[in-house]
Structure 1
Amino acid sequence: MVDKMTPFIEQLNTLNGVTARVVWDSAGRDIARAEIKFDEVTTGVKTGDLVNALKQGEYAIYFRGYKANEGIIEADVRSVNAQQLEVVARRIAEVLNKEKQA
Structure 2
Amino acid sequence: MKIGKENMVGLVYALENYHQGKTIVTATQLQPVAEAISAIHGLYADIEQDEAGRAIWRIRVRVNAPELGLNAQDVEAQLRGGEIAIYARKYQLHQGVLSLDPRTVAEGEMALIVARLREIAEHAAD
For normalisation by structure 2, the TM-score amounts to 0.75
Please list every run of 5 or more consecutive structure 2 residues that lacks an aligned counterpart in the other structure.
Answer: 1-24
CA–CA separation in structure 2 for the residues paired with 1:71 and 1:88? 18
State the number of aligned residues: 101
Q: Structure 1 vs Structure 2: percent identity of aligned residues?
A: 26
Q: Which aligned runs of 4 or more in structure 1 are off by greater than 3 angstroms? A: none
Structure exhibiting the larger radius of gyration computed from Cα positions: 2
**Displacement after TM superposition at 1:82 (Å):** 4.3
Relative to its length, the structure with more strand (as a share) is 1
Partner of 1:20, secondary structure, is strand
Selected match of 1:65 from 77, 90, 105: 90
RMSD: 1.2
After TM superposition, give the deviation of residue 57 of structure 1 in Å.
2.3
1:92 aligns with 2:107: no
The corresponding residue for 1:27 is 52
Question: Which structure is higher in RCO with an 8 Å CA cutoff and minimum separation 6?
Answer: 1
With normalisation by structure 1, the TM-score equals 0.91
CA distance in 2, matches of 1:16, 1:82: 25
* Deviation, structure 1 residue 81: 3.5
CA shift for structure 1 position 99: 1.5
